[in-house]
Each structure stands twice: as structure tokens, then as C-alpha cells.
Amino acid sequence: MNADRKELIANVRAAGVVGAGGAGFPTHVKLAGSVDTIILNGAECEPLLAVDVQLLELQAETLVETLGEVVEILGAKAGVITIKAKHQLAIEALKQALVGKANLRLHPLEDFYPVGDEQVLVYEVLGRTVPEGGIPPDVGGMVINVETLLNVAKAQRGQPVTATYVTIAGAVSRPLTLEVPVGTPISVLLDLAGGPTVPHYRVIEGGPMTGELISQPAIDSHIAAAKKTTTGVIVLPADHWLVSQPGLNLGIILQRAQSACCQCRICTDLCPRHLLGHDLNPHLILNALNHGQASNPDAYTQAFLCSDCGVCELYACPVELSPRRVYQAIKLELTRQGLKNPHRRKVTPKVAWVGRHIPISSLISRLGLEKYDHPAPLSKVEFSLRQVAIALQQHIGVSARALVKAGDKVEIGQIIATPPPDKLGAVLHASISGRIKEVTEAMVVIAGE
Ligand code: SF4
Ligand code: SF4
């Protein structure tokens, strides 16, 4: 490994950079891989979210410069910026920034879900399919999120990750996108968006397809807070389908599946991973459970191939069943038993791949989100914070361990927690200056000055 790459990895590690658009994979580990193409993921395919496209437009030069720097340091051949073709303003800004950059190019994308899924993106850009159980570097590609690349740029200047970009949308008075300190309470974000427009509401952290419902007590007690990976906070009426569906417990889901699954297999026919060629057949897992086919282990271990995209549950199934939730439960249990994904086949996309893309307009309509589909402009809003709650687990790997205790004074950017030595994880920094109010197993709370 050359000295420049070692320095880049050290800077990114010290800054605590993790994948900002997803599960929070530590970026310093990703940058250690060898690939020929680095793909900047500007697809942002979940409805209502508006972070990446605005960053691509407003910070085009920084993103292009940093992508070029990373391509060079990693010894890759090319960098590709992906963005949906419909975002013309951002595309114009990127085209100008790309002038004279021979090894960087733009790749406009169609407007479908889930084009931002890493494996889908690699296929769309490079025409290569990631094998079952594999990752993009297996086929020479590295996918990096837009906000993550900006954090890499800051890391190269010695600045740690202390803030995150969040779109606050849905049933709020003033949808907007903000850069806020990591740990900003969700309750504060709702206020900054003018508050909910309905008396009874619930909040989803993330996008409507893959986000998670946040409990109201966690919001009221200010424990629920923005993480490095938080891209959206979606407010919806408490009786909205996207609230009631994920709220169902597994027992009810299985009961419903027994009485209502007609084996139409639409869930399988529209499953993006199935269409990419993976041996993932969501209709079969419900069939196996309904008919007690415990002897067919493949039906169960296919759960490892599910990307949690939500298409089967929230778009495909005509009777609102959820193979995704069943797969999640199976994956959890198989992992608990120490089993690993046995599926490793090379795959070839189905002929139907293109014909079964899910247009975002259809998805928005199916999800009942038309009335919330408004711009959420990136805005600067002055506000002060009484406290931030910084989760110790906001990345893939092992929870960070707090280095501070109640009463300690901290400055913004100071390291407050690190992962155990030699374990996968990321360091955490104070996102505001103040005094440590509380340290629990799950978080560090800082009271502002
Ligand atoms: S789409 Fe729904 S009803 Fe049809 S096979 Fe899948 S789970 Fe069963
Ligand atoms: S959530 Fe459903 S549609 Fe998406 S990958 Fe998993 S099984 Fe396929």
C-alpha cells in the first residue's frame, strides 16, 4: 500500500467517516480495497429524500476534486458520478466541474427504485453483476455515497465527522434539508421544519422504503437523535399505511400469510435481487412456512440474499404480506445460530430486468405519498441545542466505547468514543462543545454550553 493511501485511510479513520447513506460501513476499511472504478452514488432513490442531489449541485467542485483524488490515490482507472437524468441543475454543475478530468465521467440514471442499491448501481454503470453474497469490489467496483465523499474531503483537511445532512419531510409545515450536529434530537428537527401538520403522527428515520419507525417516547425524551447515517426524518399521520404496516408483529404477519398468500409470486417477479439473478424467491419462503417445509434449507438461507429493499412488502404484494419481515426474522435467527450465507453463485440478470423497473412516480403513488412529494431545499437555519445524544453504535461493527464520563468538559471535534482495538468500528467525536451530561451503554449525552 502506497504512502498516500495509508495517509488517506488514517485520516478517514481518525475522522470517524462511515457510509452516510446506509448502514454506516466504516469508510477506512472500504478504502483499503483494490478496484478499477469508483462510483459516486448520487441515485438517492427513496421517495422524499433530497440530500444527495442538492449536495451534488451545490458542492459539485469539491465532490469532483475529491473523487479524482481518491481515484488517483487508490490507483483506480476511473471515477463515475451517478445521478438521475431528471436532475438537470445538478448535472449542469457537475459537467462544469468535470471539464478537463479525463478519468472522471457522469452516468445519468433512470428514475426507478432501487437504482441506488449498490449491486443494482454496479450493474447499471459497469454491466457487471456482483455474485451472491458478494460486494462490489468482487467485480472491481467501489460505491461511495455523496455525503460520505464530502466527509472524506473534510477528513483530508483534518476535520472529523461532527455533522450530518438530513431531509425533514412528510406531514411537516416546511419540508427542508439541513446540516445538523450529529446527535441533534429528532424533536428539534421536527420543530425546525415547522412541526407536524397532523395531531397524531409517527416518525420514520430514513427513507419510506427502508427507514425505521421511531418510538414516540424516544422522541419525547430527546433520546432519538440524528446519527451519521441519518438521511431523512419522515413524519406521517399515525394511521398512514407506512406506519401501520411496519408496526405489525411477526406473529400477525405469519398468520396473514397462511390465510392470504395465494402464491401469485409477484413478490418474486419484482424482487430486484431475484431479477439480478440471485436465487432469492420470496414467495417460496411463505410457501415453505405455510406448508412446514423445514426440510428445504435453501428456502430459509436465501434470507441472506435479501437486501431489505422493501419492494415485496410495500409495492409488490397485492394483499400486503411481508416476505421481507419474514426474511429479517430468519436472518436474525440463522446469525444467532452462527450460520453464514452459503450462497455464492455467480449470477446473470433475468431478461425481465429492465421491463420490471419500478418508476419512482408509481412507487410514490403506491406508498400514498403524493401529498408529501414537495421540494425540501437545503437551508441554513440558526438554532441552539440544549443537548445532543450521540449513539455509540452508528456504524457496522462493534459499538464504540465511551472515553468520557459525566461532568467532563468537551470541545467540538474531540474524540469521545472509540471501537475496541482491532475491531470493526468507527470513532465518535463531540458534535458540540459542552459538558457530558450522561454516559449509558447506548449513548453519550452532551449538554450544550
Ligand atoms: S405477492 Fe404476496 S400473495 Fe403473492 S406470493 Fe408474494 S407474498 Fe404471496
Ligand atoms: S426486501 Fe423483498 S424484494 Fe427486496 S430483496 Fe428482499 S425479498 Fe427481494
* Per-residue confidence (pLDDT) for residue 291, from 0 to 100: 77
Ligand 1 mean position, distance from CA 264 (Å): 5
**Average per-residue pLDDT in the chain?**
95
* Ligand 1, atom 2: closest residue by C-alpha: 317
pTM of the model: 0.96
CB atoms within 10 A of CB 267: 27
What DSSP letter does each residue of 230-275 carry, written as one string? --EEEEEETTSHHHHHHHS-HHHHHHHHHHH-----HHHHH-HHHH
Q: What is the percentage of the chain residues whose pLDDT exceeds 90?
A: 89
Cα pseudo-dihedral 236, 240, 246, 252, rounded to 10 = 160
30 lines ligand 2 (CB under 6 A): no
Lowest-pLDDT range of 7-11, 20-24, 295-299, 331-335 = 295-299
388 lines ligand 2 (CB under 6 A): no
Residue 1 clears pLDDT 80, i.e. is over it: no
* Per-residue confidence (pLDDT) for residue 145, from 0 to 100: 97
Confidence of residue 295 (pLDDT cuts 50, 70, 90): low
273 lines ligand 2 (CB under 6 A): yes
Could you report the per-residue pLDDT of 220-266, keeping only the tens digit for each?
998 999 999 999 999 999 999 999 988 788 888 888 888 899 999 99
307 lines ligand 2 (CB under 6 A): yes
Q: Is 100 exposed, middle or buried (0-12, 13-18, 19+ CB in 10 A)?
A: exposed
Cα pseudo-dihedral 172, 176, 181, 187, rounded to 10 = 0
* Per-residue confidence (pLDDT) for residue 357, from 0 to 100: 94
Lowest-pLDDT range of 96-100, 156-160, 299-303 = 299-303
Residue 417 clears pLDDT 90, i.e. is over it: yes
* Per-residue confidence (pLDDT) for residue 100, from 0 to 100: 96
265 lines ligand 1 (CB under 6 A): yes
Ligand 2 mean position, distance from CA 303 (Å): 9
Distance CA 449, CA 438 (A): 15
Contact between 18 and 148 under an 8 Å Cβ cutoff? The reply is: yes
Ligand 1 mean position, distance from CA 265 (Å): 5
Could you report the per-residue pLDDT of 190-204, keeping only the tens digit for each?
999 999 999 999 999
User: How large is the average pLDDT for residues 282-298?
Assistant: 79
274 lines ligand 1 (CB under 6 A): no
* Ligand 1, atom 4: closest residue by C-alpha: 264
Residue 294 clears pLDDT 70, i.e. is over it: no
Could you report the per-residue pLDDT of 7-43, keeping only the tens digit for each?
999 999 999 999 998 789 999 999 998 999 999 999 9
Distance CA 313, CA 24 (A): 24
Ligand 2 mean position, distance from CA 295 (Å): 23
Ligand 1 mean position, distance from CA 111 (Å): 25
Ligand 1: which of 321, 325, 356 to mutate, judged by most atoms within 8 Å of the beta carbon?
321
312 lines ligand 2 (CB under 6 A): yes
C-alpha cell, 286:
411463505
* Per-residue confidence (pLDDT) for residue 429, from 0 to 100: 98
Confidence of residue 293 (pLDDT cuts 50, 70, 90): low
Taking alpha carbons only, the member of 125, 71, 122 closest to residue 101 is 71
Cα–Cα–Cα angle for 9, 10, 12, nearest 5°? 65
Ordered structural domains, the chain, with CATH? 3-156 (3.40.50.11540), 162-239+370-383 (3.10.20.600), 246-367 (no CATH), 385-449 (2.40.50.100)
Could you report the per-residue pLDDT of 182-191, keeping only the tens digit for each?
999 999 999 9
